[in-house]
Amino acid sequence: MRKILPFASILFTLFINFAFAQPSPESQLGFAIGADRKLADWNEIIRYFNTLDKNSERVQMVELGKSTEGRPLVFAVITSPKNFARLDDLLNIQRKLADPRQVHADSLASYLRRGRTVVMINCSIHSTEIAASQMAMELAYKLTSGNDALTQEILDNVVLLLSPSSNPDGIQLVVDWYKKYLGTPHEGSSPPWLYHPYAGHDNNRDWFMLNLVETKLITAVLYQKWFPQILYDVHQMGDKGPRFFFPPFYEVSNPNIDPILLRSIMQIGGHVTTDLAAQGFTGIATEWTFDTWWHGGMRSAPYFHNSVGLLSEAASVKLATPVEIKFDEITGAGRGLSNARDFQTNFPEPWKGGWWHLRNIVDLELTASYSLLTLAARYRDQWLHNFYRLGQRAVEKGKKDLPRAYIIPSSQHDAAAAQKLLDLMLLQGTEILRAKKDFIADGANYPAGTFVIDLAQPYRNNVVALFEKQKYPEKRRYPGGPLEQPYDVTGWTLPLQMGVEYFSSVQEIKDLVADTINAFKPPATRQFIATSVPREKSDQFIISPNSLDAYKLVNRLLKKNQSVVWNRDKSPEKNLLLVQTDFDALTKAAQNLSVNIATATAVNNNGNAMKLKRPRIGIYRSYVATADEGWTRFVLDEFEFEYKTLEDGDLRRGEFITQFDAIIFPDQRDSTILLGRRSRDDDEDRKYPAEFTGGIGNLGFNHVHRFVEQGGTLLAFDSATRLFIRHWALPVVNELDGVKATEFSAPGSLFRGIVDTNHPIAFGMPRETTLFFSNSGAFSVREGRTIVKYPLQNPLLSGWLQGEAKLQGKSALAEIPFGRGRVILFGFRPQHRGQTYATFKLVFNSLWYAAAETINPGKAVTAEE
Ligand SMILES: [Zn+2]
């Protein structure tokens, strides 16, 4: 839709809802959507949607911003011209219904009558699950060209937000790769790189942390502007199981999801799967594998914003190349379905096998979308009223249930982490109060400036689900049998992961004089915890290392060749960074940071002072791409560390040895690092071009060995530790290596860790921290030094743990001297998904440590060293 309509055209749109046929996708692309071996790339998709925008009064394209690599991130708004003519009114109604506190009882009926159901359909967030990005063009074409009664009903009652992909960079990458190898033996393989530049598949694990630019932009418009009542996220899965999954979901469910939503999921699921059956689709599974426990997916965030979230998973083809699946090759086990060849209640009509084409997926997704839109249109008043009631119930629950509020002190060990937590809560629509005066809660005094999240607010359930300690319900396959593995992690309590202090208040906090900070009335500055800079001018300063922003600041100063001395003390409070720099340069570098700076006084060197140098960092990247590698880059970029990527070939050539101080091996299986794609001897892995196969090999591994022997620092995260412990015979045993799942299991939980604050790697850390553990490691160290260990009591803080005795008192992080260098073994995920702020410093310090130079003891330390 053109942005400014001529007057005559406005009259036209007000009275007539008849559409002229639009150019079909086929007429523009030169092939039919879903044709074998044909894919439109991101430019072609955008061009087609722009054509509709120009020609149809039923479409308006919205650009939300730019993707990580700078491509337009868009969605199409699709509704009737009548609805477009009063879009502001519709948005206003949405905002009112989203916050029942703003709705006067007399106006509710009018809002429900005048409002429209807002539905978001999101396609191909996972870029190799590419059918939906193509399907989106056909769906938009049908909705803009159809004059049938059903299409009219949908357009009149629904405002559809259609996102052809929430990861444009990945669509481009995947289509380019597919076209490059079309007609070769490698046709249909997935690219050997992450399809989101940082997160790969984990781009759908970011919906509460909001690290990625795409997640931030979409979250802000969904939960502050459009407030969809229904969100449908369209995915694909493996090719050998059921043809299509649609909810209801499998057990287990998050207790913070309102029953209205769980029932609404069943309502839509019943409707859609009945339509699919009636239209002759087979192999449709419900109540299988996918659950509603975990919080961070695109379709799970809606549950905590009073919306219905849905997911479909279609059986894949090889990108656009068809596959043949014979009936006896069908497997498809998984929670709730033992095989996909036999009839059962949640799988009433098995698929008979045969050829499976891209078009089969498009047909399933189109039918499901139309069916869902029909239900959204037909029960418009129900969706709107329930949306309003959900907000109302959340507010009521916040008044009655415990806790009543969360309190976040403004004075924190790590101010940068607290700033980030407040910021991301605000972005997802949370209302935060800031006390103007001192107040008392649960008998404790809190000073002015303290942050309070009163839970009597519409998005209460989101706050509780992020702040409470998760207790994953025990669900076993049979009594005494192994735990059923959760779909994703079991514990994620945000303030714990981030090392932010907070309190739950069981009392209503009365007489709280406070400012409300919320996304609708954004504060002038989002910098809640500002940098404190000394008043008097000087050229020598002390920076407290407690705030993570100190690392950003020091990295900025090191880049400008300023002198920074790292001084450590037995009492951690005296740990500090001494800087010599120009006052104005320092204040400029500290802009937008949360860090504590003071003027320097003389400091005695007890032998623990080191001069910091810019570390030369290498990060290993396998052609079997892992999200952990991407997140490592993300976190280093966020905190302004520079690094280089080392691929298999770089390590095999080995010239790097003199060029790096530290090399990081992110979490990855040892055999995959060594052997690469040939590690699993099957067809899947053989079909890659030679340059993407082979791993680091013995040659690369020997080069890494020499690098450490000659003084380099090696960081190994989680499963990558195994490679070095085993093959280099390190004086370390991983006590969890080879332990059966029935004896020990902790699939994504938060543990307490005890920190040796005297070690340089623990610089700036508190004595206790939170570790993210995903069936990771626990070490017995014969020679070397433990920096973080698991406590002697049960370490579980949030999530699930069985078999805790196996790790009590064991080492979680150890420095092992090796030749003239060292290996630093992380038995947990220190930078997991960019969420674990509590342990980022352990990585950053390891990198600084790798390059720092010791200063002779006895000599008074000044910043001039
Ligand atoms: Zn997916």
Q: What is the pLDDT averaged over residues 127-146? A: 98
Q: In which band, very low, low, confident or very high, does the pLDDT at 865 lie, cut at 50, 70 and 90?
A: very low
Of the ranges 35-44, 533-542, 693-702, 822-831, which one carries the lowest mean pLDDT score?
533-542
**Ligand 1 centre from 206 Cα, in Å?**
13
**Ligand 1 centre from 237 Cα, in Å?**
7
pLDDT value at residue 352: 97
**Ligand 1 centre from 314 Cα, in Å?**
9
Q: In which band, very low, low, confident or very high, does the pLDDT at 680 lie, cut at 50, 70 and 90?
A: very low
**pLDDT at residue 685 tops 90:** no
pLDDT value at residue 38: 98
Q: Average pLDDT of the chain?
A: 93
Q: What is the pLDDT averaged over residues 370-386? A: 98
**Ligand 1 centre from 233 Cα, in Å?**
9
Phi, psi of 372 (to 5 degrees): -65, -40
Q: Hey, how many other C-beta atoms are within 10 angstroms of the C-beta on 212? A: 24
**Ligand 1 centre from 298 Cα, in Å?**
10
Q: What is the pLDDT averaged over residues 739-762? A: 94
**pLDDT at residue 861 tops 80:** no
Closest by CA position to 756, among listed 797, 796, 789: 789
C-alpha–C-alpha distance, residues 664 and 656, integer Å: 13
The answer to whether the beta carbons of residues 482 and 455 sit under 8 Å apart is: no
Helix (H) or strand (E) holding 153: helix 149-157
**Ligand 1 centre from 129 Cα, in Å?**
6
The answer to whether the beta carbons of residues 376 and 383 sit under 8 Å apart is: yes
**Ligand 1 centre from 81 Cα, in Å?**
34
Q: What is the pLDDT averaged over residues 177-181? A: 98
Residues in the chain: 865
Q: Could you tell me whether strands 662-665 and 713-717 are parallel, antiparallel, or unpaired per DSSP bridges?
A: parallel
**Ligand 1 centre from 235 Cα, in Å?**
4
**Ligand 1 centre from 151 Cα, in Å?**
28
Closest by CA position to 191, among listed 692, 683, 694: 692
311 or 105, greater pLDDT: 311
**Ligand 1 centre from 513 Cα, in Å?**
46
**Ligand 1 centre from 299 Cα, in Å?**
11
pLDDT value at residue 5: 45
**Ligand 1 centre from 126 Cα, in Å?**
5
Share of the chain above pLDDT 90, in %: 82
Share of the chain above pLDDT 70, in %: 94
**pLDDT at residue 660 tops 90:** yes
**Ligand 1 centre from 628 Cα, in Å?**
17
Q: What is the pLDDT averaged over residues 670-696? A: 78
**Ligand 1 centre from 253 Cα, in Å?**
20
**598 burial level (CB within 10 Å; 0-12, 13-18, 19+):** middle
**pLDDT at residue 20 tops 90:** no
**Ligand 1 centre from 362 Cα, in Å?**
15
**Ligand 1 centre from 421 Cα, in Å?**
27
**pLDDT at residue 581 tops 90:** no
* Maximum average pLDDT range among 476-490, 631-645, 686-700: 631-645
C-alpha–C-alpha distance, residues 203 and 617, integer Å: 25
Tokens of 529: 């915890």
Q: What is the pLDDT averaged over residues 313-326? A: 98
The answer to whether the beta carbons of residues 195 and 126 sit under 8 Å apart is: yes
**Ligand 1 centre from 232 Cα, in Å?**
12
Q: Which tens digits make up the pLDDT trace of 446-465?
A: 999 999 999 999 999 999 99
**Ligand 1 centre from 194 Cα, in Å?**
13
The answer to whether the beta carbons of residues 118 and 228 sit under 8 Å apart is: yes
Q: What is the pLDDT averaged over residues 820-839? A: 98
Q: What is the pLDDT averaged over residues 621-631? A: 97
Alpha-carbon separation of residue 495 from 319, 492, 638, 798 (angstroms): 40, 9, 19, 11
CA torsion 287-289-290-293 (nearest 10°) is: 100
Distance of CA 588 to the CA centre of its chain: 31
**pLDDT at residue 774 tops 60:** yes
**Ligand 1 centre from 484 Cα, in Å?**
21
**pLDDT at residue 480 tops 70:** yes
Q: Which tens digits make up the pLDDT trace of 225-284?
A: 999 999 999 999 999 999 999 999 998 999 999 999 999 999 999 999 999 999 999 999
The answer to whether the beta carbons of residues 462 and 434 sit under 8 Å apart is: no
**Ligand 1 centre from 312 Cα, in Å?**
9
Which residues place a Cβ less than 5 A from the ion ligand 1? 126, 129, 235
Q: What is the pLDDT averaged over residues 738-752? A: 93
**Token pair 């790339």 in the structure block, residue:** 41
**pLDDT at residue 406 tops 50:** yes
**Ligand 1 centre from 173 Cα, in Å?**
16
Helix (H) or strand (E) holding 363: helix 358-378
SS in 3 state form for 472-531?
Answer: CCCCECCCCCCECCCCCCCCCCHHHHHCCCCEEECCCCCCCCEEEEECCECCCCCCCCCC
The answer to whether the beta carbons of residues 172 and 183 sit under 8 Å apart is: no
